[in-house]
Structure 1
Amino acid sequence: MKKSIMALGSLVLLGATAHAQKVEFEEYNLDNGLHVILQQDKSAPVVVTSVMYHVGSKDEQTDRTGFAHFFEHLLFEGTENIKRGEWFKIVTSNGGNNNANTTDDRTYYYEVFPSNNTELGLWMEAERMLHPVINQIGVDTQNEVVKEEKRLRYDNSPYGQLLPQVKKNMFKVHPYRWTTIGDMEHLDAATLAEFQAFNKKFYIPNNAVLVVAGDFDKDQVKKWVNQYYAGIPKGAPVTRKKYEETPITETIHATFEDPNIQLPMIVSAYRTPAMTTKDAYVLNLISSILSGGKSSRMYKKIVDQDKKALQIGAFNYSEEDYGVYFVYGIPMQPHTAQEILADADAEIVKLQTELISEREFQKLQNENESNFVNSNASVEGVADNLATSYLLYGDTNLINTEIEIYRKITREDIRDVAKKYLNPNQRLILDYVPAKDKE
């Protein structure tokens, strides 16, 4: 769930409980396997049309990484009926905006239009699915775009190699060991036929969910969905290999030198279970306890009181097959990375050996109630949550019931999950330091 907004902070502290309005939706399947979710909301004259494909970087070959993220860009190049370079012009000239994003597990495309352009959004996503033009000029163009993105986000950004370094050390067999941006040499080596084959395999109706959310006439939208999507051919069923990682039983030590930084960072990372498990939800609560704002345990002790760190944090990076729990900190001179790691470990040990107080637990539950309300506060958020709930969790109604999972978590669960996963012999210690010529 998304972080709560500051305006609700006082309510949280007073122990108030937020109440989310139930998200009403209708869902059904077309004969070609496309799952359709319709969520009508007349509160504002806007509509989101979105398609989430069950394809991410974990679906790539070891020598062809970066394909899913590449397609995030490539499928804006044009279609048989949308000329190259016209996609964004069509959207903006009709009062809309659009975007896309890719993770290890899925790729998401969406448009936000005034409600009188609902049909346009549906037609454009159908065009992307049925008639994409994948040619060499588009591949060459987006290759340069992706390379520039990699330079900006990873190669030349301070701490930009943090996630790549953690992933490659935490996973040995699972495709989670590489990042969504992939290896540029792999993209350079790929042929046009390989890109076309990737599209044919994954960007198909039976590997996707279409969500329409906002102000629309339901009967009319059903007709348009049938008109534009029912005739798209069904693809071959997507099968995925299951990867089992060997449990980490001894501390992994790694060092990375970054020429873009002047201050070192210490990272402690633990492999955690899939996002659908109860333990993953508990780990989300543990993150809130440890570093959820300035009143959190780590911030108060290490940053505010002891002034040993400029930054400190903990969060659960949860995904479809596994997750990674991060603890990170940047020491304040003259203190060292090892000092703040020891202090962070001490806070984790407290969670493992002592139940959090009833007052702290109630505050935590109140924060989650507020977060839950705000995660569905916009039509864009609702569309995204509906697609994610269906595609990655297998339960569309989770958009309404997820809060019940959190409500059932006990103080004992928090202690036990911390003891189960956050142990020194089950982690990676990454010393992320300035390059020697920068010291």
Structure 2
Amino acid sequence: MINKLRLFFCFSCIGIAGFAQEVEFTEYELDNGLDVILHQDKTAPVVTVGVMYHVGSKDEAPGRSGFAHFFEHLLFEGTENIERGKWFDIVAANGGSNNANTTQDRTYYYETFPSNNLELGLWMESERMLHPVINEIGVKTQNEVVKEEKRSRIDNAPYGKIIYATGINKYVFNQHPYKNSVIGTMEDLDAAELDEFKSFFKKYYGPNNATLVVAGDINIDETKKMIKDYFSSIPKGPEVERVKVKEEPITETIKAKEYDSNIQIPAKLYVYRTPAMVEKDAYILDLISSILTDGKSSRMYKKMVDEEKTALQVLAFPRSMEDYGTYIMGALALGETPLDKLGTSMDEEIKKLQTELITEKEYQKLQNKFENRFVNSNSSIQGIAASLATYSVLYDDTNLLNEEIEIYRNISREDIKRVANEYLQKNQRLELDYLPESAKE
């Protein structure tokens, strides 16, 4: 089937009517369950080949945290036909680039090549899916790589526990595996046997748990033929059983302290558990973030940074996930400002959202920002490929490439007030003091 998606460039702030740029995609499924999405754009002679697997850190067995992220590294080790350590060399030698990333819910691999190397990209991803080499030397090598990543990004990075949620989610999730960090613990990875890694691959990396996206300067019919040649013979994997864990509501304030030897400036954080990413209220919380901290004219910035001069920096953002989400807001103290003072100021801004409608001027500014963000998110081939894969895998609706902006457009000022009241209550949150190691008593 062919779906025509329209991206709207809205210039309402200067009274000019928006116009549409059509983005077409073709979506179909192979007999082995592989979801395929093709997008043709001949603007530039480049192509992105991406595969998103519906497996993330939430799918890991107890005591084996970090497996999904580990595979983000391990599956670059080599295959039966790609010599160990040569993956990146092959990509670079053919004018390409590649990367991968992992979340709680999915893992995404992609390559971008000159379009005359499309077949190479498809072959490499089929190799990754069909017969990667998973052996002791690869596991040991990537174990060291992951350890170094953990040290550099979390253990030795200022505010690393906040950026990667290792110091947050464990408080707001009791049962759901979202309580674990994506990178996992080194103890779990060290304790794992080789057969456990092989079993994890067999369970989650079959074509029926994956979406293949090809975007860019392609011929649709020729690309379909290549995909059939390289992917149709890959055996279907076992049916994946999705995580189904329900959390009880948070009804009492959770108070905690975390210490970081890499910081000198303490921070006050509020963290709330919020709805799944597909829910309208998750989108509304995204707008609330913009109201509070997006730019120097935002409410918390003007109040706490400019006027009160109590905060060095302010933040508010949602972390949307497939089953639940979290909403994080906070501030870094300026000078000797007590953290309680930062908390009081944040509560005042929450209260305004709960009791007063935002102004029409704020509302229009908000809509313009999100129109622009939507357009920019799909301004590159890599961006379109990632969006198509994400909407297919996590939202089960590839058409959201078009429709998502309509969700934002249909959010009212009353919706914003309602959601602030429903989710941003004191008894539904974690209050976290994030302190320098030297502040320990």
Give the TM-score normalised by structure 2.
0.95
Alpha-carbon contact 2:58-2:243 (below 8 Å) kept: no
Distance 1:54 1:423, change over 3 A: same
Secondary structure at 1:165 match in 2: coil
Whole-angstrom CA distance in 2 between matches of 1:230 and 1:114: 24
Aligned match of 1:108: 108
Whole-angstrom CA distance in 2 between matches of 1:425 and 1:26: 47
Match of 1:343 among 335, 342, 345: 345
Amino acid at match of 2:125: E
Aligned match of 1:86: 86
Alpha-carbon contact 1:288-1:296 (below 8 Å) kept: yes
Alpha-carbon contact 1:65-1:186 (below 8 Å) kept: yes
Shift of 1:160: 1.2
Aligned match of 2:175: 173
Distance 1:141 1:110, change over 3 A: same
Secondary structure at 1:21 match in 2: strand
Aligned-residue sequence identity (percent) comes to: 62
Secondary structure at 1:161 match in 2: helix
Distance 1:138 1:20, change over 3 A: farther
Aligned match of 1:432: 434
Alpha-carbon contact 1:45-1:214 (below 8 Å) kept: yes
- CA shift digits 1:26-56 (9 cap, x unpaired): 0000000000000000011100000000000
**1:311 and 2:313 aligned:** yes
**1:32 and 2:32 aligned:** yes
Aligned match of 1:416: 418
The Cα RMSD (Å) is: 1.5
Shift of 1:114: 0.2
Whole-angstrom CA distance in 2 between matches of 1:212 and 1:382: 10
Shift of 1:13: 5.9
Gaps of 5+ in 2: 1-8
Alpha-carbon contact 2:59-2:243 (below 8 Å) kept: no
Shift of 1:177: 0.2
Shift of 1:229: 0.2
- CA shift digits 1:196-227 (9 cap, x unpaired): 00000001100000000000111110000000
Aligned match of 2:6: none
Alpha-carbon contact 1:18-1:373 (below 8 Å) kept: no
- Higher mean alpha-carbon deviation, 127-136 vs 160-169, is at 160-169
Aligned match of 1:356: 358
Amino acid at match of 1:79: T
Whole-angstrom CA distance in 2 between matches of 1:366 and 1:285: 11
**1:65 and 2:65 aligned:** yes
Shift of 1:16: 5.9
Shift of 1:62: 1.6
Whole-angstrom CA distance in 2 between matches of 1:73 and 1:23: 32
- CA shift digits 1:309-352 (9 cap, x unpaired): 00111111110000000011111113211111111111111011
Match of 1:372 among 364, 370, 374: 374
Whole-angstrom CA distance in 2 between matches of 1:326 and 1:15: 35
- CA shift digits 1:118-142 (9 cap, x unpaired): 0000000000000100000000000
Alpha-carbon contact 1:279-1:417 (below 8 Å) kept: yes
Shift of 1:22: 2.8
Alpha-carbon contact 1:49-1:210 (below 8 Å) kept: yes
Shift of 1:20: 5.0
**1:297 and 2:291 aligned:** no
Aligned match of 1:331: 333
Distance 1:156 1:13, change over 3 A: farther
Q: Spell out the pairing of 1:121-160 with structure 2 (5 A cutoff).
A: 121-160=121-160
Whole-angstrom CA distance in 1 between matches of 2:243 and 2:92: 41
Aligned match of 1:285: 287
Aligned match of 1:43: 43
Whole-angstrom CA distance in 2 between matches of 1:409 and 1:67: 38
Secondary structure at 1:246 match in 2: coil
Whole-angstrom CA distance in 2 between matches of 1:437 and 1:172: 28
Whole-angstrom CA distance in 2 between matches of 1:240 and 1:112: 31
Alpha-carbon contact 1:51-1:109 (below 8 Å) kept: yes
Match of 2:194 among 187, 192, 195: 192
Alpha-carbon contact 1:49-1:122 (below 8 Å) kept: yes
Whole-angstrom CA distance in 1 between matches of 2:388 and 2:339: 41
Shift of 1:437: 6.9
Whole-angstrom CA distance in 2 between matches of 1:205 and 1:289: 42
- Higher mean alpha-carbon deviation, 381-390 vs 428-437, is at 428-437
Shift of 1:367: 0.9
Secondary structure at 2:160 match in 1: coil
Whole-angstrom CA distance in 1 between matches of 2:151 and 2:243: 32
Shift of 1:151: 0.4
Aligned match of 1:398: 400
Shift of 1:436: 2.6
Distance 1:272 1:437, change over 3 A: closer
Distance 1:73 1:230, change over 3 A: same
Whole-angstrom CA distance in 2 between matches of 1:377 and 1:31: 32
Alpha-carbon contact 2:258-2:432 (below 8 Å) kept: yes
Distance 1:322 1:116, change over 3 A: same
* Structure with the largest fraction of strand: 2
Alpha-carbon contact 2:269-2:433 (below 8 Å) kept: yes
Q: Figure out how many residues of one structure are paired with residues of the other and give that number.
A: 431
Give the TM-score normalised by structure 1.
0.96
Amino acid at match of 2:325: G
Shift of 1:241: 3.2
Aligned match of 1:52: 52
The list of structure 1 runs, each at least 4 consecutive aligned residues, that deviate by more than 2 angstroms after superposition, is 11-20, 436-439
Whole-angstrom CA distance in 2 between matches of 1:427 and 1:15: 41
Alpha-carbon contact 2:258-2:435 (below 8 Å) kept: yes
Whole-angstrom CA distance in 2 between matches of 1:17 and 1:108: 37
